[in-house]
Amino acid sequence: MLGFIIRPPHQLLSLLSCPGLRIPRFSVLCAPPRLRTMAASSSFSELPLVAVCQVTSTPDKEQNFKTCAELIREAARLGACLAFLPEAFDFIARDPEETRRLSEPLSGNLLEEYTQLARECGLWLSLGGFHERGQDWEQTQKIYNCHVILNNMGSVVATYRKTHLCDVEIPGQGPMRESNSTIPGPSLESPISTPAGKIGLAICYDMRFPELSLALVQAGAEILTYPSAFGSVTGPAHWEVLLRARAIETQCYVVAAAQCGRHHEKRASYGHSMVVDPWGTVVARCSEGPGLCLARIDLNYLQQLRKQLPVFQHRRPDLYGNLGHPLS
**What CATH number is attached to the domain comprising 220?**
3.60.110.10
At 174 the pLDDT is: 72
In a domain, 99, yes or no: yes
The sign one gets for the Cα dihedral 185, 191, 192, 194 is: positive
In a domain, 4, yes or no: no
At 43 the pLDDT is: 76
In a domain, 56, yes or no: yes
In a domain, 252, yes or no: yes
- What CA–CA distance (Å, rounded) separates 294 from 6? 7
Q: Is residue 25 over pLDDT 80?
A: no
pLDDT-based confidence at 3, cuts 50/70/90? low
At 10 the pLDDT is: 35
State the Cα angle at 267 between 144 and 274, rounded to 5°.
Answer: 75
In a domain, 121, yes or no: yes
Q: Is residue 12 over pLDDT 80?
A: no
Q: Is residue 116 over pLDDT 60?
A: yes
Residue 72 in contact with residue 52, Cβ under 8 Å? Answer: no
Average pLDDT of 78-93? 97
In a domain, 21, yes or no: no
In a domain, 166, yes or no: yes
The catalytic residue among 162, 178, 189, 286 is 162
Residue 261 in contact with residue 18, Cβ under 8 Å? Answer: no
Q: Is residue 6 over pLDDT 70?
A: no
At 9 the pLDDT is: 36
Q: Is residue 169 over pLDDT 70?
A: yes
Q: Is residue 30 over pLDDT 50?
A: no
In a domain, 35, yes or no: no
Read off the pTM: 0.88
Residue 142: which domain range?
49-323
Average pLDDT of 48-53? 98
Q: Annotated catalytic, 61?
A: no
298 φ/ψ angles, rounded to the nearest 5 degrees: -110, 90
Exposure b/e, 69-82, CB count within 10 A at least 16 = b? bebbebbbebebbb
Q: Annotated catalytic, 87?
A: yes
Domain count, the chain: 1
* Three-state DSSP class for residue 150: strand
Residue 220 in contact with residue 252, Cβ under 8 Å? Answer: no
pLDDT-based confidence at 23, cuts 50/70/90? very low
The catalytic residue among 68, 74, 81, 87 is 87
pLDDT-based confidence at 323, cuts 50/70/90? confident
pLDDT-based confidence at 268, cuts 50/70/90? confident
Residues in the chain: 328
- What CA–CA distance (Å, rounded) separates 86 from 322? 31
